[in-house]
Amino acid sequence: MASPTFTENKFWLNNKETDFNNERLSNCLAEVTKRADPKCGDLLKWKLHICSENNFPTAAGLASSAAGYACLVSTLAALYQVEGDISAIARRGSGSACRSIYGGFVRWHKGEESGGGDSIATQIVPATHWPQMRVVVLVVNDEQKKYSSTSGMKRSVETSQFLELRAAKVVPKRVEEMVGAIERRDFEAFARVTMQDSNQFHSVCLDTYPPCFYMNDVSRAVVELVHLYNEYRGATKVAYTFDAGPNACLYLLEDDVDEVVTLVNDIFPSVSDPREYFRGLPLNLKNSGNLQEALKLKPNSPGLLKYIIHTKIGDGPKILTTPSEHLLTENGLPKNL
């Protein structure tokens, strides 16, 4: 909300007032106002009240800040009537936020400019292109020390003997393969490239000196479960990918979700209230008894996973038009404070 009556900029994140003058937010705001429509006039001088809620787990290596900054930049761009691509602005808040500006399947272009100005995102296809695609996130109960992914990546650039080959040869080819797989709705190719590329990212982390480890024994057990399951099904039905943390993102098609989550739930027994444990889209769990036997798998000790999120490909940021959906009331203060 912008108003001539506001006396200072204010920022609430998940119902807590937070410093407005942080670097990432300031960068985004500066870039958006630079490209504001001149017709905005005095609007550009008005102070802002920003209220943000994020229902995705924060600091779990699940790109919740990407979602947050994509929403922030989309909203500011709508307010100041910015034209053209805004993914490069979102990237100033959080690198991967540029991918979250557009819904559906998105490509983040490396770009050629030294300042990164052309490192933008474009949509490959909208979510409706492949409506069967589902994502199951296994959030791992992790007590290991966290690594900063930014400093880890810097160290990889400096020390890994593999990163150059990966960046120059492997990734460009895989991006094309992936775009083709998405366009053709070829799940097997999509899944194979997803898994190989996740493994290779972590391979580079291990080739870094000193090495960074993001995956742990639970991640490793998920990888083994996925390969065993795919082998049993005689086809690649599930893919895993791990970002800068031990949590697994599983990609799979709608029809396989219940069987896979049932199996995961039996192999990684929960100790939590199911209403807290299973989040997102509904699930219809049964008993994986025969499948477990066929795969020769035994349940792990309970409580290795914190919770499971079942979700699908989203549509990207939306401008809410119903006042009742707004997080700020008419007087500019958060509704849920």
Query: 6, 108, 162, 232: which one contacts a copy of itself (CB under 8 A)?
Result: 162
DSSP string, 189-232: HHHHHHHHHHHHHHHHHHTSSS------HHHHHHHHHHHHHHHH
Query: 28, 51, 195, 309: which one contacts a copy of itself (CB under 8 A)?
Result: 195
Minimum distance between the CB of residue 187 and a copy of itself, rounded to whole angstroms? 17
What's 170's DSSP letter? I
Minimum distance between the CB of residue 195 and a copy of itself, rounded to whole angstroms? 7
| Torsion sign over Cα 258, 264, 265, 270 | negative
Of 189 and 327, nearer to a copy of itself (C-beta) is 189
216 interacts with a copy of itself by CB under 8 A: yes
Query: Residue 233 is encoded by which pair of tokens?
Result: 């099904």
200 interacts with a copy of itself by CB under 8 A: yes
203 interacts with a copy of itself by CB under 8 A: yes
Minimum distance between the CB of residue 257 and a copy of itself, rounded to whole angstroms? 22
300 interacts with a copy of itself by CB under 8 A: no
CB 73 within 8 A of CB 97: yes
Tell me the pairing of strands 121-125 and 238-242: unpaired
| CA–CA gap between residue 183 and residue 186 (Å, rounded) | 8
Q: How many CB atoms sit inside 10 A of residue 289's CB?
A: 10
Query: 6, 46, 56, 213: which one contacts a copy of itself (CB under 8 A)?
Result: 213
Q: Considering only the stretches 5-13, 62-70, 95-103, 161-169, report the one whose residues sit in contact with a copy of itself under the rule CB under 8 A.
A: 161-169
Of 121 and 181, nearer to a copy of itself (C-beta) is 181
Tell me the pairing of strands 47-52 and 10-13: parallel
Where does this chain bind a copy of itself (CB under 8 A)?
144-145, 161-162, 165-166, 169-170, 192, 195-196, 199-200, 202-204, 206-211, 213, 216-217, 220, 223-224, 227
